[in-house]
Structures are given as C-alpha cells and as structure tokens.
Amino acid sequence: MRSKFALLTAIVLTALVLVSCGTTSSNAFSTSFYNTPSSIPSNAPGTVLRFETMNAPFPESQAWRVLYTSTGIDGEPIAVSGMVFAPTGPIPPGGRPVVSWAHPTTGI
C-alpha cells in the first residue's frame, strides 16, 4: 500500500511539474541568475553559489532555483543549476516520500 502511495505521489508531482513547464508567467526570472561566476570555488561538488525563491507551480508548496558547483568532464569545477520544490504543510508522521528527477544533459 505504501509503495502504491509513493508511486501515485511521484506520478502526480511529475504531471504537475510537466504541466507547469509550458506556462508563461508575468513573474519570469531574469537570465542573469544563470550567469557563471568569474571564479568557481573548487570546494566539494554541491556547494551552493546562489539561490532565490520562485513562484511555486502548485498550491501549498514553495520553490527555489539554485546555482551550485559540480565537476565537468575535464575534472574542473563548473556551475550547474536546479530547482527545489517542497510542500508547506506540516510534516506527516514518518516523513514524506522524496522524488528526484534529472533530465539528460543537452548540448556539448
């Protein structure tokens, strides 16, 4: 039963994110957020360079976009980006299922 609930939750969240991808907003972000810093720290991958809140695509949720460090194909530190979505309601007993999704890398 619990695995069915987790699967249903993942499907619903994925559908909501996909539906919201095609919409436009009067609160569009500036692309300057994604400008790569002049020097990227060589700290451990996952070091947050900057983040900002954004309009959440569904009710009772909060959202952020994040620019953080990773490692490029040549082993050098690079900046990569992502988005984090979280519900705003109280945490239920036993916690919440976590869904993580990454699209394949595009470009060169």
For residue 60, tell me if it sits in a domain.
yes
On the CB side of 8, CA atoms within 13 Å amount to 5
Percentage of residues of the chain with pLDDT beyond 70? 68
> At 58, is the pLDDT very low, low, confident or very high (cuts 50, 70, 90)?
confident
Q: How many domains does the chain have?
A: 1
Whether residue 52 lies inside any domain: the answer is yes
Phi, psi of 51 (to 5 degrees): -150, 160
**Tally of CB atoms within 10 A around 68:** 15
Q: What is the pTM assigned to this prediction?
A: 0.62
Asked if residue 108 is part of any domain, the answer here is no
Does a structural domain hold residue 40?
Answer: yes
Residue-number span of the structural domain to which 50 is assigned: 33-89
Residue 27 in domain: no
The C-alpha R_g of the chain, in whole angstroms, comes to 16
- At residue 53 the predicted structure's pLDDT band, cuts being 50, 70 and 90, is very high
The whole-angstrom separation of Cα 83 and Cα 20 is 13
Query: Does residue 43 lie in a domain region?
Result: yes
- Assigned domain for 11 exists: no
Instruction: For residue 45, tell me if it sits in a domain.
Output: yes
Nearest partner of 47 among 31, 73, 67, judged by Cα? 67
